[in-house]
Structure 1
Amino acid sequence: MINVRTLAGGASLLALAAAGPALAQTADAPPPPDAPVSDAPAMPNEIVVTAQKRAQKLQDVPLSIVALNTEALAERNVRSFNDYAKFLPSVSYSSYGPGQAEVYFRGLSNGNRLSTGSLPTVGVYLDEQPVTTIGSTLDVHVYDIARVEALAGPQGTLFGASSEAGTLRIITNKPDTKGLAGAVDLTANTVAHGKAGGIAESWLNIPLSSRAALRVVGFYQYDGGYIDNIRAPQGVRYPTSGIVRDNKDLVGKDQNSVEAYGGRAALKVDLDDNWTATLGAMAQHQTSNGTFAYKPSQGDLVISRFLPEAQQDKWYQASLAIEGKLGHFDLTYAGAYFAREAQYTSDYSDYAFLYDTYYASTPDYFGNNFRNNAGKLINPAQVVSQDERFTKQSHELRIASPSSDRLRIVAGLFYQRQTNNWRNLYTVPGLADAQSVTGLPGVNYANIQFRTDRDYAAFAEAAFDIVPTLTVTGGLRAYKYDNNVIGFFGFNANRSAVGEALCFPGTIGAYGTSGDSGRPCDNINTKATGSGTRHKLNLSWKAAPGKLVYATWSTGFRPGGINRRPTAPPYAVEKLTNYEVGWKTSWLGGKVLFNGALFLEKLSEAQFAVTSDQNGITDIVNAGRARSKGIEADLTVSPSRGFSVQASGTLVDAVITTDLCKYTNAAFDCTIPSEAGNPNERRAPAGTRFAGSPRFKLSAMARYEFAMGKLDAFIQASAFHQSTVASSLDVAEARLIGHQPTYTTVDLSAGVSRETWSASLSVENVADRRAQQSRTSTCSISLCGPGSVVVYPLRPRFVSLRVGRRF
């Protein structure tokens, strides 16, 4: 708890595409053979990564990885998840606002946002700790970051659960005893159709002695809004009550502003010549207002909202890493505690109005249920408040043999315990006590659930040089999970058979009506456990200096879990098998780098969110199989000093391979009725593409550095292209909501520097394209119609001026 808060014709394009994102951070010396993971320096024009839990040059790692280091992140004006995701070819995402992105690799996007739903398919790491949370990806402010690594494909051997489709790693810069250093950066910005903002950032590295150093980082950021809340049509009334629907008190411009601040500190101490301890702490608090969506039926960047909306996301992390040697072996312990609290208040009045309109001829189904204590009809508009409190502690102990040995081994033990306390209330102000969830005045519907996930694993990966140029690598991870959920969902017993009518004996009135645990009773109390093994087999060949090719057979998984309906069975482990052939090549003395991979991934026991027989409640079920195949590539060309061209892209075909039914069954036969006898139907036929991910994605950047008198100067242009994205896996729903259209955007920047000073001017989304980050509807599209469709756009044209000083 916290108290303070993204084949032939496509292949030819990809062949023009960038190992370029893997730009290097200059250092004084090459990494020693057995450099600890956290301290691996890089030579000029090289980058060192830790994707295999040991320090390796990027071009020597036989897997599909893109890395953006400190310099590359700064050149691209990266400050948030959305900023760096567009430069990662295999990554796609759906975003609903700051800190509310769902991330996918290679088109596998069958996640969901339920507290009791599946874990994500992508693992997110902050330094050594997994910080993967259900429903949204942690949005870490990017400043003084060593690198962002994107590992495509299953990483189940070394990174475990939720690294099924890929892994994102954010790695911070560590303290350095070599000398005092620091920086201050100030940015002023403005967004088209909106307001001005700015950022203040600073980092400082302080040597405390020859064996100890401290590094501190701080930032403050304000982003101006650009979504207007406009006056709704006047004189519109709720059909049942006749109450006028009006939002005049909330009308305003540029309401989706964002304020964020935070910092981190790390203390590194060399305990002796062989052992080092690093203690770290980070915290971030982000607050935003309004909604980040607009309604196309009303106009560009405008929407009508009837109730106040706000979002708050705050988190902190404390970590300890101890690295040392036992004889010739490297031993690492990494432990951390992470806590996140996200609070959202959302306007749900469209749902109330459209349902009241649809069921106007049968008001007892909807409109007549909203009365006050005097029995008088009231405004049925609902506000949704969600408070999600997430904690995670993790511990990993691993040992690694010297990287110079012919046989190299990394092995370890892993444990984590994560909790998710979810309080989701649908409130109608003035609702009668007899209609409210007991003890929660005005609450029409409630989800109050407490989830605990425990994961245990033992892993080992060994690489053996058959001959100096041919290496075989094998890995194995044995895992066990133990998950449980207890809590309440539903209505008052007077309203529905779903809710208090399902209370377990002995739990009624046991929790009180206030505090984090306050709820009328328990009607969920279930557990899911499971275990298994996942493997990896890789063969890599150094065909010539700077020419590496590899083949990989690897597997990943995400754990099974529990549904909130008491009668719904748990869902089983989802498994992914990956077949991949890739290459890492350097040409013309390093002036050209060309990397890429061809892959085929097969998903079995796929976890999908489907509608149950009981009041439309969502269940997670193992509803079929799927596969993803494609090509990803990246290219850097540096024809002359100071000039470079980089590009990266992916072409992917990710589809389900069994029919997806409204009511699932083991035969995947959509003619079989549900258990309650309801007629079945096919939501998506085999061959339907996954929602949320484009078939084709490409980014490209050209940069020219030159002398301008006594100044060092640069000019830079970046372009991004993404093909259409389906809004839903359900084909009928996707047709009604519409697809996210293809878009291309361009960023431009230029700057100068001299000695310790620098200044740059950037323009992002130059043409002010209204690209879409996600597209959905405010309630069931088949019932509420096209007027309920909302779009979460890419930020409009954004101009920023940045001035910085290093010392």
Structure 2
Amino acid sequence: MLKLSYGASVGALAVAIAGPAVAQEAVAPRQGGLNEIVVTATKRTESLQDVAISVNALGEDELDNLGVDTFGDYLDQLPSVTAGASGPGQSTIYIRGLASTTPNLTTAGVAGLAPNVALYLDEQPLAQPGRNLDVYAADLERIEVLGGPQGTLFGASSQAGVVRLITNKPSLSGFAAKAKAETSFTKGGETSYKGELMLNMPVTDRIALRGVVFLDDQGGYIDNVQGTRSMRDSARFREEGTVRYNGVPVSSGRAGFQSSPEDLAYIDSEVTFIEADNARLVEDNFNDTQYAGFRASALFEVNNDWTVTVSHMRQSLESDGVFFADPELDGLDDLEIQRFSDDRLEDDFSNTSWTVEGRIGALELLYTGAYTDRETQQNVGYSDYLFVGQYIPYYMCDTAVAYPGSVDVAPADPTCYAPNLSVSSNSDTTVFTQELRFSTPQDLRVRATVGGFYSDLTLKERNDYFYASEMVRGADGVTRGFAPIYPFTNTEVTGTTGRAFPGYFSDPGPLPEGAGFRNDVKRTDKQWGIFGEASFDIVPDVLTITGGARYYDVEVDLEGAATSAFCKLNSPIFGANAGVPVEDQVNIPGCGGGNLSLLYGPDNEFGNPDKATASGVIFKGTLTFTPTEDLLFYATYSEGFRPGLLNRPGGTQGPGDYVVPYELETDEVTNYEIGWKTELMDRQLRLNGSAFYVDISRLQTSIFDPNIVNLVYSDNAADARIYGVEGDFTVAPYAAPGLTVTGAFSFLDTKITEVLIPTNDVIEGESLAYAPEFQGNLRVRYEWDLSDSLTAHIMPQVNHSGSKYTDIIEINKLKLDSYTTFSMTAGVTADMWSAELFGENLTDTRAEVAGNFNFDVPRITTNRPLTVGLRVKFDY
């Protein structure tokens, strides 16, 4: 695994935020007029204007001009696309407002929903539960975004759309080299640097090699400022009548934990609160990030009909700090936060892919496969959990604090210890995919693409939750803190069989000192499918009907355990163990947690499902009308689905008759769409768009509601619908050579139509998450000749997004404000080099691009502050 040392922040560049939504050549033809855009959205090579699908694309020159490199950069170019982002390597894509929740990264393995937008690198799907791969956009030919369900050709995780990163392939045409370098300066933040080098080299007349290396060091801009925090802030000690910051009252139910005046009086007068102080972690601009890696590929042209392409990529991403702030805390500004643990992320992946293309008679054949191995090591500050975790005092305070009436067993001077909480999260994800498909010649009146697909994903995730980390023996003889213990499944180590159940565990133990809980899970997602699309020209070149179908079979399994250390020590709560030596506390009866193998194993005694399974057929139909060469209209019916999963706290009794389901069902979407592709005014104006209605059944969402269970779980919460109109335009007038005007827009109206869970967490009539009613952008680029060898350009940009919510769960929901940002670039270009000055977020706007409210405190992710810089490029 590639390892480098780095730091730097992933804040989205404002040039990315203000970019256009369609691909075209960076320079309009000097005589004016539009350029052709080529895509492979239907798994065939076609002109964008001939594809009866809502497709946005960014070409290679466009990506360079916009400074697009990272996940947030290229998604922000497209008005129909949003992302729930909490930092680099931690984002989830949403298209057309089909979103329900903000993912919780520390439970991605055990409770992460399958994505509903498929992320592809060339021919291989890379979407993963909980967190998408943040693939650095080095040496890309283009990025394509397909809106609406694309399940017939792209499978399970494409119910809202597909994002495809298409790399440049090795070329036999000759030696080529490209290099670019950039430095930028952020207001109030650190300097950033990046560099990229590409070489293409034919080895023989049949073999070519291509390689790219990159390094992107992004300076931080958020400050971790000094502060203190104590257990007095715990949700356990909320006063009666407390209302959350987002306006939702705290429940008075069984887990509402609003303390009585008598309990609060006792706590305030008798309890000693030891403060956590983050002085040692105070740092300006602490959210540094660095991307580093390479991609090497080889092309072997076996003969005129057959080629083999092999590619290998490695990327290392290392990030410090967090990318959200706490603007509601008194005394902090909008780029400051108080963190009490060392937040950091190492996210490394290697990816190997292979593609064989050829021809058998008239049939075109493509076989492709890929293997991806991703490892993440993350430390997450968890002190915010005390704002919603009502049980924290049980673990970190003396008995009299958790049970104020229990003075007969309470220490004379009860204490709550410093809440320096953190989570150590380690995951290893492997994905193996294969696809084989056949296509008939495109010039036939009846043409088809058929194939088969297989995917096998394994996600191993281990999270250790650290509470009081030191073993301290008090004067009363009670040891406070958490002893290092063994997972209760670990028969081989403990030698005890009475509580050692069969199941998966990744580490033989003991748990690290100070770890109070451990989630140790293995999740496997397997799927296979058979798919096909066929088109028939009812009237050649004028009227075409297309039909598609996919049979799918998906299986999701979950193994592992949630292990608790709390009754395996002489604790202030479980005082009955006082005097028992730590080494003898390995298997005290009644301790532990939940063994998922008991709940979901093939021989479980509860009758619960062994696996979450789904199979069926989805369909697509399109009627295309092309009255002239420059006009195309289409009407589409399409379906999509997303697989379910198993719930760790399945069977938990909620309010009334509600029971947390053991198995989450698939959610399904049905899309009705009309679209248009037009080139007007003698091909000086391109105007594309679509209008759609999406019907959503059994929408999946993650829920954190302590009134039900103190764990994240998932359910099919609601039915919903979406109305939308989206479009993009490009103007390249003959009368003004060098002038290109590009814009795009998206209008959405989303609504929950029926609530399926008998709780107050979801409300009928409310909007879906990450679904702004309007998004739009506009860019003008003008080029002119300075001399026979130099061309100048200037490019102002503006981007706007309406307000949006982060969740559909009322107690977890946060409203993000609308924003408008401005950027500009100006530079000169010669035959083989160019230099450009750029300014991003010129008005220094705090654009609220994402956020979460899972812990009853607002955590808002904003864009990077005002940034100016210089980039230079060389192209041989």
Matched residue SS, 1:606: strand
1:644: how far off?
A: 0.7
Q: Deviations over 1:301-357 (max 9, x none)?
A: 111112111111111110100000000110000100011112221111233477689
How far, CA to CA, are the matches of 1:490 and 1:558 in structure 2? 30
Please show how residues 361-510 of structure 1 align to structure 2 within 5 Å.
363-364=401-402, 378-428=417-467, 429-430=469-470, 432-433=481-482, 438=487, 439-440=510-511, 441-468=513-540, 469-492=542-565, 494=567, 500-503=592-595
- Deviation per residue, 1:461-493 (Å, 9 max, x gap): 001101111000000100101221100125236
- Give the whole-Å Cα distance in 1 for the aligned partners of 2:746 and 2:786: 37
Instruction: State yes or no: 1:747 paired with 2:823.
Output: yes
Distance 1:619 1:183, change over 3 A: same
Residue by residue over 1:100-121, the C-alpha shift from the partner in whole angstroms, topping out at 9 and shown as x without a partner, is: 1111011011254432332011
* Aligned residue in 2 for 1:637: 731
Q: Identify which range, 602-611 or 689-698, moves more after superposition.
A: 602-611
Q: Report the more deviating stretch, 79-88 or 263-272.
A: 79-88
Counterpart residue identity of residue 38, structure 2: V
Offset of 1:229 from its aligned partner?
1.0
* Equivalent-residue separation in structure 2 for 1:498 and 1:798 (angstroms): 57
1:630-673 Cα shifts (integer Å, max 9, x gaps): 1001011112210010101100112211126xxx2xxxxx4xxx
Deviations 1:666-721 (A, max 9, x none): xxxx4xxxxxxxxxx42232111012231111011100011113411100011100
Where does residue 359 of structure 2 map in the other structure?
325
- Sort the Cα spacing of 1:209 and 1:115 in 2 relative to 1 into closer, same or farther, 3 A: same
Contact 1:18/1:634 (<8 A) preserved? no
Larger Rg: 2
Q: Distance in 1 between matches of 2:403 and 2:728?
A: 56
Task: Letter of the 1:347 partner, please give it.
Answer: G
Question: 1:589 Cα deviation (Å)?
Answer: 1.7
CA pair 563-88 structure 1, distance change in 2 beyond 3 A: same
- 1:709-756 per-position Cα deviation (integer Å, ceiling 9, x unaligned): 34111000111000001133134553xx4x211100011001101111
2: distance between equivalents of 1:398 and 1:152?
Answer: 23
1:696 is aligned to 2:774:
yes
Question: Residue in 2 aligned with 1:683?
Answer: 761
2: distance between equivalents of 1:465 and 1:129?
30
Q: Which deviations, in whole Å up to 9, do the C-alpha atoms of 1:382-408 show, x marking residues without a partner? A: 111111211101000000000011111
Kindly indicate whether residue 709 of structure 2 is the aligned counterpart of residue 624 of structure 1.
no
Q: Does 1:273 align with 2:267?
A: no
Give the AA of the match of 2:427: E
Using the alignment, how far apart are the partners of 1:314 and 1:580 within structure 2? 39
Q: Judging changes above 3 Å, is the alpha-carbon distance between structure 1 residues 365 and 741 closer, same or farther for their aligned structure 2 residues?
A: farther
- Cα distance in 1, alignment partners of residues 26 and 184 from structure 2: 27
State the alpha-carbon separation in 1 of the partners of residues 449 and 614 from structure 2: 25
* Mapping for residues 759-770 of structure 1, pairs under 5 Å: 759-770=835-846
Corresponding residue number in structure 2 for 1:11: none
Determine the C-alpha separation between the residues in 1 that align with 2:669 and 2:21: 29
Matched residue count = 735
Cα shift at 1:623: 2.4
Q: 1:110 aligns with which of 92, 97, 100?
A: 100
Q: How does 1:106-145 map to 2 (within 5 A)?
A: 106-111=96-101, 112-113=103-104, 114-116=108-110, 117-145=112-140
Task: Label 1:122 to 1:209 Cα distance change in 2 as closer, same or farther (>3 A).
Answer: same
In the alignment, which residue of structure 2 is the partner of 1:520? none
> Residues 132-531 of structure 1: matches in 2 within 5 Å?
132-232=127-227, 240-296=271-327, 297=329, 298-352=332-386, 363-364=401-402, 378-428=417-467, 429-430=469-470, 432-433=481-482, 438=487, 439-440=510-511, 441-468=513-540, 469-492=542-565, 494=567, 500-503=592-595, 526-531=610-615
- Amino acid of the structure 2 residue aligned with 1:295: D
Whole-Å Cα distance in 2 between the matches of residues 19 and 285 of structure 1?
A: 29
- The answer on whether the counterparts of 1:19 and 1:595 sit within 8 Å (CA) in structure 2 is no
- Deviation of 1:18 after TM superposition, in Å, equals 10
| Residues 287, 85 of structure 1: alpha-carbon distance in 2 compared, 3 angstrom cutoff | same
Q: Which amino acid aligns with 1:579?
A: Y
Out of 590, 601, 612, the residue aligned to residue 694 of structure 2 is 601
Partner in structure 1 of residue 259 of structure 2: none
1:22 deviation in Å?
Answer: 2.2
Q: Secondary structure at the match of 2:276?
A: coil
| Residues 696, 720 of structure 2: 8 Å contact kept | yes
In structure 2, C-alpha distance between the alignment counterparts of 1:601 and 1:85, rounded to whole Å: 22
Q: Deviations over 1:588-611 (max 9, x none)?
A: 121100000000000112212234
Secondary structure of residue in 1 paired with 2:49: helix
Counterpart of 1:38 in structure 2 is none
Q: Is 1:563 the equivalent of 2:612?
A: no
Whole-angstrom CA distance in 2 between matches of 1:242 and 1:524? 44
Contact 2:124 2:370 in 1 (8 A): yes
The residue that corresponds to 2:851 in the other structure is: 775
Q: Provide the C-alpha distance between the structure 2 equivalents of 1:362 and 1:730, rounded to a whole number of angstroms.
A: 34
Tell me the secondary structure at the aligned position of residue 624 of structure 1.
strand
Deviation at 1:505, TM superposition (A): 9.4
Long gaps (5+) in structure 1: 6-16, 29-42, 508-522, 665-669, 671-680, 782-787
Alignment partner of 1:66 out of 38, 56, 59 = 56
Give 1:249 shift.
1.2
Structure 1 residue 45 displacement after superposition? 0.9
| Equivalent-residue separation in structure 2 for 1:792 and 1:650 (angstroms) | 22
Residue 585 in structure 1 maps to residue 625 in structure 2 = no
Structure 1 residues 241, 312: closer, same or farther in 2, change over 3 A?
Answer: farther
Cα–Cα, structure 1 residues 168 and 234, in superposed 2: closer, same or farther, change >3 Å?
A: closer
Instruction: Tell me the percent identity.
Output: 35
Which range moves more in the overlay, 64-73 or 290-299?
A: 290-299
Q: Decide whether the 8 Å contact of 2:453 with 2:529 is kept in 1.
A: yes
Distance 1:234 1:634 in 2: 50
TM-score w.r.t. the length of structure 1 is: 0.86
Q: Distance in 2 between matches of 1:104 and 1:422?
A: 24
Q: State the distance in 1 between where 2:665 and 2:44 align.
A: 33
- How far the C-alpha of 1:379 sits from its partner, in A, is 2.7
| Higher RCO (C-alpha under 8 Å, 6+ residues apart) | 2
CA RMSD of aligned residues (A): 3.1
State how far apart, in whole Å, the 1-side matches of 2:188 and 2:854 are: 24
Deviation at 1:300, TM superposition (A): 2.2
Q: Work out the CA distance in 2 between the residues paired with 1:172 and 1:67.
A: 13
| Alpha-carbon distance in structure 1 between the residues aligned to 2:87 and 2:365 | 41
Q: Does the 8 Å contact 2:748/2:771 carry over to 1?
A: no
Per the alignment, in what secondary structure is the counterpart of residue 135 of structure 2? Answer: coil
SS at match of 1:291: coil
Task: Please give the alpha-carbon distance, in whole angstroms, between the structure 1 residues aligned to 2:177 and 2:403.
Answer: 64
Match of 2:795 among 711, 716, 722: 716
Contact 1:19 1:646 in 2 (8 A): yes
Q: Which moved more, 1:344-353 or 1:332-341?
A: 344-353
Indicate the residue corresponding to 1:542 in structure 2.
626
Q: Deviations over 1:150-204 (max 9, x none)?
A: 0000000000010011000001000000010111111111111101010111101
Contact 1:490 1:498 in 2 (8 A): no
Q: Distance in 1 between matches of 2:524 and 2:156?
A: 15
Distance 1:657 1:20, change over 3 A: closer
Cα distance change, pair 699–155 in 1 and its aligned pair in 2 (3 A): same
2-structure distance, mates of 1:45, 1:172: 20
| Counterpart contact for 2:792–2:827, Cα < 8 Å | yes
1:805 aligns with 2:806: no
Q: Given that residues 18 and 633 in structure 1 are in contact (C-alpha distance below 8 angstroms), is that contact kept between their aligned partners in structure 2?
A: no
Partner of 1:790: 859
What is residue 784 of structure 2 aligned with on the other side? 706
Q: Deviations over 1:525-580 (max 9, x none)?
A: 94122210111000001011200000000001111221112534211121110000
